[in-house]
Every structure is written in structure tokens, then in C-alpha cells.
Structure 1
Amino acid sequence: MTDELNQRVGFYGLEGVGPDLAQLGQVVEPHLKDALAAFYGKVSANPAISGFFSGRSHMDKAAGAQADHWRTLFRDGFNQAYLGRAQTIGNVHARIGLEPKWYIGGYGLVLDRLIHGMVASGWKALLPWKRREARRLSLLVRTALFDMDIAVSTYFTAESTEREAMLDQIGTALEKLADGDLTVRMAGLPVKFQSAEIHFNSALERLHATISGVSNGIKSIATASSEIRAASDDLALRNEHQAASLEETAAAMNQATQSIAESANRTIEIRSTIAEAHSQASDGGAVVRKAIDAMAQIEQSSQQIAQIIGVIDGIAFQTNLLALNAGVEAARAGDAGKGFAVVANEVRALAQRSADAARDIKNLITTSSEQVEGGVGLVGETGALLEKIVGRVGEISELVLSMADGATLQAGNLKQVNSSVGEMDRMTQQNAAMVEESTAAARALADETANLLRLVSQFKVAGQAAPRAANHAPAPARIVASAPQVSGNLALKQAEPDADWAEF
């Protein structure tokens, strides 16, 4: 047996009464059926109690179960099985709404019949003092039970009043809580319910703090998400413009790269052309040097011719002198020398012509020498100029070569820059796509935050009022202190299969 059952058995002085209970059962058994029949006959005539039964068969079944319960009690005593059966009966009565006054009153009526049957049954009923003893015992029992009924009913009424007060406060608080008011608090509950009041208020305090924190956090998130959304929109717009500008820059850089590459190719061609010109100028310088050498040789030949002309001029002078001497000798010879004089004249005339011719040739040679000398000077100057031109062409070739190398290097660098710009353009396009996704996410976050803010704003916290929720579940029906009386059919449905009877 449990400690509670032991305490109760000890308080009632029922320890070790097993044999007495068995003997009492034998005494009660002959009168039990009549007592229960009389009781249920009175129950059927009382509408306040008969409504708990569906009919006479239900009452007979309840009477049989009650008799079995008592027989088992008299036989086995106050053990754990008895406690379980008694608690089951109490739970059934509580579920169907049977008030304790009818239960206690029922015991009074049954005990009245049992006492009369035990004290003044059979021939003893003819003895007046036995009947008086039975009436007095029955009156004592019924008076005690009636007094207990009043006390217990008063106790349960007080319990019901306090429970009603608690349930009223709970109902009001839950109704306000259903409307989103988190500032509601419970106060002034009876002492036995103060723990519920403390826990309820503590729970609402924590819920209030949580909703307040969530509300403030959502407001901050809403502000931040709005700023993020605006910044994302602005960034997306700027990134779009930047992507377009970078795309145009990439196209322009590509064209510039192609143009510089073409210029580098043309510079290479120019370098080749200048190299050919330098080679040709060098060849021209060699030709000029040969011309200078030839003119020098011509000058030497002219000098030799002048020497030869001098010799001829000398020969002509000697010839003329000999012709003059011959004419003098012919004159001395007279007539014999006339023929020789003619020959001398002819020789002198020939010598004169030779001298004239030599003088003319000398003049021509002199003029030619002067011209050749001038030509040699000009050719020398031409050679010097050609040397300078060759040097300049060499310098230009080196400069063009350097320019070509620089242009090639710049073309390579521009190709790298163009590749980098293309990569930047690709990355910018990817960044633009990512910014668009971020903007969409920021918009979704802002929408979700607004939705959360709308949901949280349904709750009323300290310092602000919340609108009544548009749609929420209706407040549950308030639980009364004691269940109302129900019809017999409903009692049948609520009663357990093995305990669907009312014990009185």
C-alpha cells in the first residue's frame, strides 16, 4: 500500500481489521441487495440524479458493480487494488459531473437500510427497542454524513469560488494575450494559486522582453535592410554604368592595340626600307668615291696632255726657228736656195699652225682642267654630303630601329593591358550580376523584415499599443470549477467501460 493509503487507514483506526471486515461482509451480504435496490428506486424518482443514468438497466449494472466493490473490500481489505478501484470511481464521477453531495447522500440512504437490516431484521423488527436502536444508529450515521456533506460542499464551494476567480483572471489575461497585449499581468489570486500567478507573470515578462528585443532588432534590421537595399540599388546602377564604360574602354583599347600593332608592323617595314636606303646610300658613296678617283685620274691625264702640248709647242718653236734659219740660209744661197726657201716657208707655216693648234689645245686642256678640277671639287663635296647622308641615314635607321623595338614592346604591353581590361570587363560583368543578386536578396530581406515587423507589431509591449490581430483563433471557453450535469446518454459515453456506474 502507498504512504497516503497507510496514513488514511491509520487515521481511521482500520489497521488489522481484516477478520472483522470478513465477518461484517457476511452480516451485510444478506441486506446489501435490498439496500441497493431501495436506494436506486429513490434515485430513479429524483430527476437531479436519474439523469446520470440511461435507464433501469444502467442502474442495475451500477448496483451490481457497487455490490462487487463492497464484497471485494470485505474480502481483501484496504489494499492497493481497492485504492485503484476507488480512485477510478472518483474519476468517473468527476468526469460526468456528479457532485459530492449526491455521493455522500447516497451513502447515507444505503447505510440506513443496512443498519436497519443488521440491527432490527427478521423477528428483531418486532422488538421496539431494536427498532429504536436501529433508527438512532441510522440517524447518527445520516446526521454525521449530512454534516460532512455541508462541510465538504462548503469546502468545494470555496474551492470553486477561488477557482472561478483564478479562471476569470486567466480567461481575461489569455483574451488580452490573444489580442497581442503583452502588458497584461495577473494579480490578487488566492494563496494556493500564487505560484501560477508568479509563473504566468514571469513567462509574460520573458515573452515581453523577448518580443520587445525582437521588435527593436527587427526595426534595426528593417532600417539597415532599407539602407542596404538603397545602397545595393545605387551600387547596381553605378556598376551597370561602370560596366558599360569599361566595355567601351575595352573596345577602344582593343582598337588602339590593333592600331599600334599595325604601326609596329609599318615601323618594321620602314626600318627595312631605311636599311635598304642606307645600303644604297653607302653604295652611292662608293660610286662617288670611284668618280672622285676617276676625276683625279682625268686631272693627271690633263696634266700629262699639257706636258705633251708643251713638248709640241717646243717642237713647233724649234721648227719655226729652223725654218727661219733655213730661210736665212736660202736667202744666202740665192736662186739656188729658192726651192729650199719655199720649203722653209711651208715648214714655218706648218710650225706656226702647229703652235696655234698647240696653243688652242692648251687652252682647251686648261679649260678642261679647270672644269675637271671644279668637277672634282663638286664630286668631293658630293662625296662628303653622301658620307653625311649615310651617317644620318644610319642614325635614322638606329632611331627607327629603336622606335620599332619600342612600338613592338608597347604593342606587347598594350596586348597585356587589353587582356587585363578584358578580364576587368569580365569581372565587372560578373560583379554586376552578383550585385543584381545581392540587390534581389536585399529586397527579399527588406520584404521579409517588413513582414516580421508586421507580425511583431501585433503584440503590445510597454510604451506602444498594438492593433488587434485581424485573424486569430477564438478564445477558448472558460473552464468552470465543476462540470455541468449531463444527460444519461452523455454520461454513458464519458464513463469508462468497467466503471460506468455511480457509487453513492
Structure 2
Amino acid sequence: MKSLTISKKFTFLSLTVTFVSLLIGYLLLNNYKQNLIEQEYASIVHELQDMTHDRMNAKLDVGISNAISIANDHYIKEALATNNRELAIAALSNLSANMKANTPFKNIKVHIHTKNNHSFLRSWVPEKFGDDLSSFRKSVVKVNASQGVVNTLEVGKAGLSIRSVVPVFSENNEHVGSLEFMQGINSVAKLFDQNQEGFLLLMDASLAVAKIDEANKLKEYVISQKFVNKAFLNDAKTIDFKELKANKILNTQAYTYTYVDIKDFEGNVIGMALVGEPYDVVHNAINTATKLIVISLMILAGALIVTLVASLFVMKKFIIGPINDLKEAIDSVKESRTKSSYIEVQNNDEIGDVVKSFNEYLGSIKAGMEKDKTVIDEARVVIEKVNSGLFNDQIKQEANSKEVAMLIGVINDMIVKTKNNLLTLSQTLVELSHAKYDLNIPRIEGMTGLIASLFNGIRVTQATMSEVMALIDSSNTKLESSSKELSDASKRLSESSNLQAVSLEETAAAIEEIASTIKQSSDNAQKMTNHAQSVTKANEVGRNLANQTVTAMDELSDEVNSILEAITVIDQIAFQTNILSLNAAVEAATAGEAGKGFAVVAQEVRNLASRSAEAAKEIKEIVESATIKANSSKEVTDKMLQGYNALDDNINQTIGLIEEVANAAKEQQTAISQINDTVNSLDKATQENASLAATISTMAENTQNLVEQLREAVSNTTFSEASKKRICEPDMIFRLNKLKSDHIVFKDNNFCNCGVGKNFTVKNHHECDLGKWIDENKERPFAQTQEWKELLIVHEDVHSKVQKTVDLYAQGASNEEIFTYTKDVEDSAFKVFNLLDRLREMNCSTQEVEK
């Protein structure tokens, strides 16, 4: 071979290489095909298993979160601590209503246990309780023993279900029991079904604690979910589970299957999650790759044959000459550098000369590589510092090659920019920690990706804090005004109640005095009645003893004198009653509206006193007349009988008048008693009002203190004045700032998934949460503005440019092309955030005008 010419060597080698290349190409492509199939299967298994883990872990996270939230409810704690099941039932009912209204959970299942592992309350069957769970509920026993949490899938009567068990502590931190939040796996199965994939949660039938319904059985497993894709279930009935477990993957005509072992919190396998991808979806890529491999093999064979024929034809003309040219070129560019390793020269032909020249070139390259290696070692040290968070160093060595030098320049530039960005970010966070929520966070020119998202996230956080502080400040101002009004009103109420109480006490004393006087008048009237009856009897005796006129007239004179005295007493009583009624009228006038009824009673008493006085006057006149007649009767005895008759009539009239006085006194006494009771009731109510006014005054003072504390807290912060213009709807503060954050996450997730050859479609501008909010609010007044129209345009622009970025990555486009669109995405997102703030300001302005 050494003595052969280059053409013969080339011909021999070309034929050999062609044959070997065809053989190697076939073997490599065939091996590539097998590897591709295995990789595709491995990828499917990995993807389906990861998806299953992620979705089930998400359910577990939701379960433990809800369990902890419910266990911290004050009423649940108190119910367990005091063994009050009715309180627990009411608390769970309220929690269930709130979760049904505000979360996807429409029918929660909560099981509360005592600390000795007995059932306290099952939310779905409240009447069943008290049974001991120790023998079959290991998770409950574990939680009550360790006072930790257990979040697991566990066997139950309906099969496998997620059971999130947490301890419950009383308000004084005493362990009083445990609480279990139960949920099924239907939402996971539905999510797989929406993606045209299959999912079955299967429990090992040997672990069943209840009778198994054959309709829910799949060979040696029990289906533990309500939602089932019938087509997937029917196909799953045909698979061999032993073969599936052995290979981790199994194909049928409809699906490609894999599984995930389901373990309880102790690590015991209690079932499996069977998942499947449609067979056609999995094998589309494999079939396409197989076709490409066959075509590639045919192209390779044709290319090798054509290359061989062409090479033999042009060898002398196009090989020897270029070799000489190559030698000259290498000689011209090589530098005088230290000799290193060389390629062995085995031939004395042109190739040997090229090898000699190339050896010299290799020497120069190695020297350059040593220099580049020094730079790379320094770069490694600097990058290790950067990875640890130290940005105070840069690469200082000079590289040999232009490319390495450019790389070093890019790395140093990256360190400087990253350092400056992180310093700005750190300073911003420090200012926010000082409660300066009006800080102007700068926009760094050309910054995109995760760093831009960090700054945008801080802006959203700052905006939320600023608006919340503005809302607190506004609410505190209103609360301060209300508390002052409450304090002033409580003071006025207290003063008024005290004055009213004093007036009622004086009125009650006056009424008691009037009642005493009326009672005395009633007693005197009764005495007068008795006297009148005695006079009547005496008159009867007088008529019967007409012959004893003189003696009788003397006795009559005595009796008449007695009557005169009694009439004098009546007249005095009437005078005193009249004075008392006048005093009562004065007090009633002083009481104002509340004394009107009392004034009416006083007027009636005064009328009765006047009538009594007039009656007494008439009786006195009659008695005086009778006395005259009695004195003259001694001379005119013949008129005695007529005088007695006249006396009898007068006595009867007197008895009638006395009875009227007695009845009026009784009526006055009854009315005064009622008035006295009423005044006492008013006095008691007034005393209660005064006490309540004092309590309200204390509450007003406490509220004022709270206002002062809030004002002091707000005064220690600074927030943007512009925030006050968009806080009229507190719900929109959190809703729209969350939508801003969601858009940042949307951009980051899609950018992180970008890669060469990775084509996928991002959500359009109607599918994201912000797009849904825009569609929901398109009828509101602010949706008729120019800003709303601009929002629609820039929001759609964000989605379209994110999609364009994904497409450029997939096509392997240059950084310049990609950076153009990523910067546009940041600018458009920034405009979206500003427009959302502007729309909220306009919304609040509109509401203020309407008020």
C-alpha cells in the first residue's frame, strides 16, 4: 500500500468505504429506529407517570390544605373540646355552604374523630357516630398518636380515596381529636379524558373492606372512581396485568398502557393508577421515523454510489491539485510555535507532505489551546462564584481564539448585567421591606425573560400593597369620622338619659304624695257616708217621735252641727285636692309630651274637687237652713213634720253627693296607681338607657383608639397617590393584580418550554384568565373607552408574540430574531398592566360621578 499511487489508494479506499458506509448506515439507522421506539415508549411512560403523579399530588395538596383550614375553624375546635356535636354539624354546614359557593367543592366529605380514635361526626351521615376506628383506620390512629398530619390514598368501603387527616387542637393548644377531608379522584379521570387519554384508579381487590360490586371489578382490581370512559374500560379488560408490570408498558390496538403504583402512607402498595395514551398518537412519530429512516438509507446508498463514480473521475484533477494548494495554505497561515504532538508520516507522497505541514499546524493549535485552557479554567472559577451568588469577579485572561475571546466577553457582560439587575432588585426589595410602596421601579432596557418577570412580579406586588394601603387609609378616614359621630351621639344620649331619669324620680315622688292624699280623701268620704246613714236613722226616729219634738230637735241640732263639721272637712279635702291637682298639672306641663296623659288625670281630679266643694257648700247651706228651722220649730211644732220631710230629702241628696265624692276618690286612686306604675317603668327604662349610653360611649372610645392605631400604622408607610384613584372596588384590586401575575406566569411557562424542534400552540387571547375577564366585562361603561380598545389590541399582541417566539425557537432562529419578539412581549405586557390600572381609575371616576 505504501508504494501505491494516491489514485489507486483512493479507488481501493473509496470502494471499501462505500461498502462499509452502506453497511454501517444500515446498522446505525436500524439501531436508531429501535432506540427511537424505545425512547418514545420510555418518554410516554415517563410523561404519563409524571402527569399522574402531578395531578394526584395536586389533589393531595388541595386535600391537606382544606383539612388544615377546616381543622383551624374555631367552632370545630370548640365542638370537639366540649363534645358538642350540634355545634360541629352547624359549623360543617356553614363551611360546606361557603365552599360550595366559592370553590369547586360542591359536596365535601369531612369526618371528625375524637382523640381516642372514635367517630365524632361524619358530614354525609351525621347520625352515625361513636364507632371505634382503631382496627381499620391506620391514618387516624397515626395522626392522633403522633399529632402530625397524614395525606394519603387509603382503602375505604367505596375503594381507594384521598384522605387528608390532620390533628385538631383546642384554643389552649390541647389535642382534642383529628379531622379528615375526603375526596375522590374523578376530576383527575375527567382531566385525562379531556386530553383523549384514559385513567383508572384500581384498588387491590384483596384489600376490600366491603362487598365488591362485580360491575366495578377489573380482574384482580376494584375500580375506585365514578367517572369511567367506557371505551377505555372495555379495552383495559383485555390487557395482561402481569405483562404490564413486567415491562412497564403494554400495547393494544387502541391504547398504549403504563401504570403507577398506589401506596399508602406506610409505603404499602394498595393498588395502581392505570393510564393509557391512544395507540395512534404514540405510534405516529414511530411510523414517521421509520419512513424517514428507509428514505435516508436509500438516499445514502445513492449518494455513496454517485460520490464514488464522481470521485474516481475527478480525483486527479480535483484532488492532487487541491492537496498541494492545501499544503501551501497551511504553510502560509501557520505560526512559529512550540512543537507539540505530530501525526506519524507513513507515506512519501503528497499526503505525507500534507501531514508534515499539518503536524506543524497542530503544534500551533495546541499552543493556542493551552492558552484557551487557561482562560477556560479561570472562567470555570468565576462561574462557580457566580453560581454561589458572588458577582464581584470577572474573567481577566486573554483567549487565543477569536471565538473563545467573544465567549469570554459575553460571559463578563452577562456577569455585569446580572449583577446590576440583582442589585437593583435587592435595593427594590429592601425599600419595599421599609414599607415604601410608592417606589418607582425602573425598567431596564432590553431585559426579557425571567429577570423581566421578577421585576414585573415585584411591580404587581408593589401595586397590590400600595392599593391595599390606600384602601386601608381611605377606610380608616371614614371609620374615624363615624367613630367621632358615634362618640358625640353617645355623650348626648347619656346626658339626656340622666336628665330624664332625674325628672322621672321627681315626678314619681309627686305622684306618691298625690296618691296618699287621694287615699285620705277616700277614707274621709267613707266616714261621711257613715255619718249620713246615722242622720237618716235619726230622721226616722224623729218622724216616729213627733211628740218629742223639742228633745228630738235638740238632738237634731247636735247632729246637724256634726254634719256641719264633716262638711267643713270635705270642703278642706276639696281645697287640698284642688291644690294637688294644680301641682300635678304643673309637673305634667314640665314633662312635656310624656306628661300629657298625666295632665288629663290632673284635670279630672281638679273637676272632682270643684264638684266636692260645690256640694259641701250646698250641704252647708241646707244645714244652716235646717238649724234655723230647728230653732223656730219649738214655736211652730205644727210644721215639724214638714220640716222633717224636707230634712229627709236634703239628707238623701247629701248621701248621693257623698257617694259621688267617694266614687270619684276611688277612681282617682286607681288612675294614680296606674300613673305611678307607668312612671316607675319609665324610670327603669331610663336607667337602662343611661347604662347603655355609657356602654356605647366606651365602645366609641375603643373605636377611636383603634382608628388612632391604624392611622399610626399607615403613617409609617408610603404609597402612591395614584392608588387612591382605583380602590373603589376592592375585589378588582386582587382580581386584576392576580391576572397580571397570571400573565407573567403564562409568558414564563411558554418561554421555558421553548426549544429547537419543539412546536406547540400557546393559549389565545380569549382562553387565558385575563381574556375571560375581558369577555365578562365588555358591557361595563369603561369598556366603551379608547383605553379598552387599546387593551384588546395589546393583549392580543402579547399572545401572538409569545406564539411567534415559540415558533422562532422551534425553527432554530438567531438570538437577534428571538430577542426582537421577547422585548416586544415585555413592552406589550407592560402596556397591558398600565391600561388595566387606567381602566380601574376610569371606573372609580365614573362611580364617583354617579354618586
The answer to whether TM tops 0.5 is no
Which structure has the greater CA radius of gyration?
A: 1
- Structure number with greater CO (CA < 8 Å, separation at least 6) is 1
Higher helix share: 1
- After TM superposition, the score normalised by the length of structure 1 is 0.45
Higher strand share: 2
- After TM superposition, the score normalised by the length of structure 2 is 0.27
